[in-house]
Structure 1
Amino acid sequence: MRAEIDAVERRVAGEIDPGARALVVAIAVFALLLSLVLPHAGSARGFDVLLFTEPARFEHIGLPSRVFVWFVTVFGIGFSLFALMTRRWALAWIAVAGSAVGSVFGMLSIWHRQTPGLDNYIGAGPGIGLIVAAIAAVVLTFHWVQVVWSRTAVHLAAEEQRRAVAAAAEEEARKKRFGES
């Protein structure tokens, strides 16, 4: 019976149940996808920043913005979609970790667009796509953290059952040791 309980607990521990948060995560992922077609700075759209095309070079898109867009694409969109589809706990943790780091780079990107560059170069400020992506990354991080830290009723029941079996085995060993049975 102990082996069965352990197997069920391991299987259940690897799953998440985002519940209503799945809708918020899906909306945030959609906002991140939308941000890739919106301007991040001047004429440079999110895809231009991602691929570092001519418009991105013309707008002097810096490293923080490029790193941010890659984090948003890989972790915010990619791993979040995989985690929602498969409901795997490990994928959700990767999504939350990447989204958290991406959120920091999003704030740095906005700051970077508002700071004069070399030789006092002043380019276009942060565009609507960059702002939407930064906000969506923060929202995504917050909701993924809530999902991965929450325990479902099945998790709690399996944990309680494991504790009950362990307590019964300990009581049996105590009785055997003191000759009470």
Structure 2
Amino acid sequence: MSDHGNELNRLAADVDEAVSKAARTVELGRRGFLISLVVFVLIIGQLLPWVGRHTGWQVLFGQGGAIPQLFAVTSTLFGVVASVLALTTRRWWLTWVCAMGGWFASVDGLLAVWSQQSSGANNAAGNGPGIGMLVALAAMIVLAASWMRTAWSRT
């Protein structure tokens, strides 16, 4: 009789563990594939020109001005690093980090584009936003929206 009781207790513990794990993780499905593609597009955007002849990764390391650098940092941190972590671990709380950080980076991106459009007025580097900055901004907006939909899907 105690063998059946032990088996039942082990089964209950396994079920509790599975439910607890399911509560902490998120199922991405097709949205995960879309997010992966957009992260790849964001990485491509980092390789293209952002400010004058400086590419996104050069801006990330300090060339091209402070506002574009802020966008390069936030888009890399939230768009690439946090997204890859969220995709691999499927942790629900990371989807919120990616969603909120993605919107923050999107606003930074709008400011970076604006700073490059008005760079002639204050003699700042750049003659307008480069194609890489525009690609990165579009990718961040799509990522932020996708992560927000994913985060809200759990509530």
Normalised to the residue count of structure 1, the TM-score between the two structures is: 0.72
Matched with 1:140 is 143
Aligned to 1:136, what secondary structure does the other structure show?
A: helix
> What residue identity is the alignment partner of 2:67?
P
Q: 1:68 aligns with which of 58, 66, 71?
A: 71
Q: CA deviation at 1:117?
A: 5.6
> What residue identity is the alignment partner of 2:106?
S
Hey, what's the Cα distance between the residues in 2 that align with 1:6 and 1:107? 46
Indicate the RMSD between aligned Cα atoms, in angstroms.
2.2
Q: Does 1:113 align with 2:123?
A: no
8 Å contact 2:48–2:55 — kept in the other structure? yes
Aligned to 1:17, what secondary structure does the other structure show?
A: coil
Q: Does 1:21 align with 2:24?
A: no
Q: Does 1:48 align with 2:80?
A: no
Q: CA deviation at 1:24?
A: 1.1
Hey, what's the Cα distance between the residues in 2 that align with 1:77 and 1:108? 20
Instruction: Note the residue ranges of structure 2 that are not aligned, 5 or more in a row.
Output: 1-8
Hey, what's the Cα distance between the residues in 2 that align with 1:6 and 1:117? 62
Deviations 1:95-146 (A, max 9, x none): 112111000000110011011466x426411000000000000000000111
Aligned to 1:126, what secondary structure does the other structure show?
A: coil
Q: How does 1:58-137 map to 2 (within 5 A)?
A: 61-116=64-119, 120-121=122-123, 123-137=126-140
Hey, what's the Cα distance between the residues in 2 that align with 1:117 and 1:41? 13
Hey, what's the Cα distance between the residues in 1 that align with 2:78 and 2:151? 15
What number of residue pairs does the alignment pair up? 143
Instruction: Note the residue ranges of structure 1 that are not aligned, 5 or more in a row.
Output: 156-181
Work out which of the two has the higher radius of gyration on C-alpha atoms and give 1 or 2.
Answer: 1
Q: CA deviation at 1:63?
A: 2.0
Aligned to 2:128, what secondary structure does the other structure show?
A: coil
